Amino acid sequence: MKKIKNVTIKNLKILKDVTLELGDLTLITGANSSGKSTFIQALLLLKQNQESLKLISNNKLIEKSINKKDYPEINKVVMKMLNDSKNIQINLNGDYIQLGDKKDLFNETVYEEDIVIELNIDELGLYKVICNYKNLTIAIDSKMPSETITNLFADDFQYINTDRIQPSLTYSLSEAQIQKNLIGIKGEFTAHYLDENRYKILNIKELQHKNSKTEYLLENVSLWLGEISHGIEVLVKKNIDLKKMELSYKYTYGDDTTNEYNPFNVGFGITYVLPIIVAILKSKPDDLLMIENPESHLHPAGQSKIAELCAIAASCGVQIIVETHSDHFLNGIRVATKKQILKPENSQIYFFEKEDETISTKVHNLTIDKEYEILKIVF
């Protein structure tokens, strides 16, 4: 999809009225329960309701094109279908997010005001989705062509949840997800993806590790993971009998190579970060990648290295949104900027905090200046 220039969210939980300019790399940080996850959830809500939004958009196009005077009986059927599409309720609990019910959705300080999520998309303009306060029906306000709306949040959208795969003896398979170039929101199909795509050439050559002999995905995943745990190699194997994937690791130290270790016998953070590395390395220009808490269970140096990897991908056309609590990740972005991997103007950093006397979020824009220091702009 085309890059999102900015996002406006109104009346969704603690986000009463917030607009964020997005960069190639956007970092969201701040206090707990200050609205960071809600911002991510707003975009996931659009993804989760993608099919309904497609239907509404297509039916609006049909409604404009039909002549109600011709073929009246047929048009009665068509008009009923169109009217039905105006009563589609938003799906709050699906594959991407579980938001509960109406009382959990709306900002508590507003009275019967609709939720609005508005995207300003590069070269395409505004795309606004409205969720009605009274009946939770959804509507679209956009001048984009119908086919453009249909392609929003397509399969070039990868989200990695903070609750990711953990050490296990086996992992799930999904041909449907792999064919869509996805690894699941928890990275649960990472092993399967690596098995099917081990010899896939990286879409972005700049993501090739400096010690890699090839541009193959699996080799480069191992080498980038080796920046976190030196000498590691990732091994994946399909267990035909169980219809499951097996994931293991081995280490090379000089001329010596260890036995294979299952995920329980290496550091927890190794398996936890693996989906993030795969998600970044499989990406291509114009992809949208959202990652929650990439720093979890990683040593500070590993956190900084993941930040560098994100910066490389962002500099090559992948739009990345990261929610983090890690100052080491932030410093990793500063270092990447100093190394000129990423230009200062191509990153956006936001600090979320609660307003003192209201149930709403205040957002501070933090910028990296030419000296790679952090400057704060209060909205």
DSSP codes, 96-116: S-B--SGGGTB-TT-SS--EE
Query: 129 has which bridge partners?
Result: 117, 140
Question: Residue 189 is encoded by which pair of tokens?
Answer: 């199909």
d(CA 78, CA 318): 41
pTM, two decimal places: 0.92
Question: Residue 77 is encoded by which pair of tokens?
Answer: 């059927």
Residues of the chain with pLDDT under 70: 1, 61-85, 144-155, 356-357, 369-379
Per-residue model confidence (pLDDT) at position 196 = 97
Per-residue model confidence (pLDDT) at position 12 = 93
User: In 20-122, where does DSSP find H-type helix?
Assistant: 36-48, 50-65, 72-85
Per-residue model confidence (pLDDT) at position 361 = 86
d(CA 230, CA 250): 11
Q: Provide the total of helices (H) and of strands (E) in the chain, helices listed first.
A: 10, 15
The two beta strands, 244-253 and 232-239, are antiparallel
Q: What is the pLDDT of residues 109-152, one digit of tens each?
A: 888 899 999 999 887 788 899 999 999 999 888 876 655 655 66
Q: How far is CA 236 from CA 189, 205, 227, 247, 248, in A?
A: 11, 23, 19, 5, 6
